[in-house]
Structure 1
Amino acid sequence: MKAELLYRSKNVLSDGAIVEMVIWKVPRRVEGSQHFHKYSLFYGYAGSRIVAYDNERGKGDHRHLDGNEEPYEFSTVEALISDFLRDVHVRRQGSR
């Protein structure tokens, strides 16, 4: 089985912020993760990460919030997207 692209989107918001999500179903677990998904979700500006969720090899599932990295408990693709968009929404509300 090859990797299968499950979801890809990229939006540039009116203030220049970027929201990009890429999620793959992979044939083998990414080292450090207990599921068969590889993902990278990003919110920020060119050169400035505000929110990011990923499962980098060896680090496993984690998220970056306002410059801090912490573990993330992956359950489903739907929950991943929902959690990410919630964190983006909170930060966008705080910037107004």
Structure 2
Amino acid sequence: MQASLILKTRRHIGEAMFADLVIWRVPEPLRGSPHPFKYRLAFVADGICMMRYDNETGKGDHKHIGAEEHPYAFQSIEKLLLDFDADMKGWIDGNADRED
């Protein structure tokens, strides 16, 4: 079995913000992840990656919020997308009133 693409999209969110979502089903779990998915979900604002969820080989499931890296407890693709959207909304809501 080869890797199969499940999702690849770019969602534009307001002015100068977007989310890139890429999820693959892989033949066997990546080293460090117990599930058969490879993913990278990134939220970019003003050309800067503010948040990213991924499971690069050897590091397992984790997320980056700004410069900080945190473990992520993967449960399902649906939960991954919900968690990512919630964190992205939290970032947007928390920065909506900032002055440039």
**TM-score per shorter chain, which class?**
over 0.9
- 1:36-95 deviation per Cα after TM superposition (whole angstroms, max 9, x unaligned): 000000001365211110001110000011221010010100000000000000011111
In the alignment, residue 35 of structure 1 is paired with which amino acid? H
Partner AA of 2:16 in structure 1? G
Retained in 2: the 8 A contact 1:40–1:52? Answer: yes
Aligned to 2:42: 42
Counterpart of 2:6, as a letter, is: L
Identity of aligned residues (%): 36
Whole-Å Cα distance in 1 between the matches of residues 76 and 40 of structure 2? 14
RMSD over aligned CA atoms reads 1.2
TM-score (norm 2): 0.89
Q: Which runs of 5+ in 1 are unaligned?
A: none
- Amino acid of the residue matched to residue 93 of structure 1? D
Name the amino acid aligned to 1:80. L
Matched pairs, number: 96
Q: Conserved in 2, the CA contact under 8 Å of 1:49 and 1:67?
A: no
Equivalent position of 2:22 in the other structure: 22
Alignment pair present for 1:52 and 2:52: yes
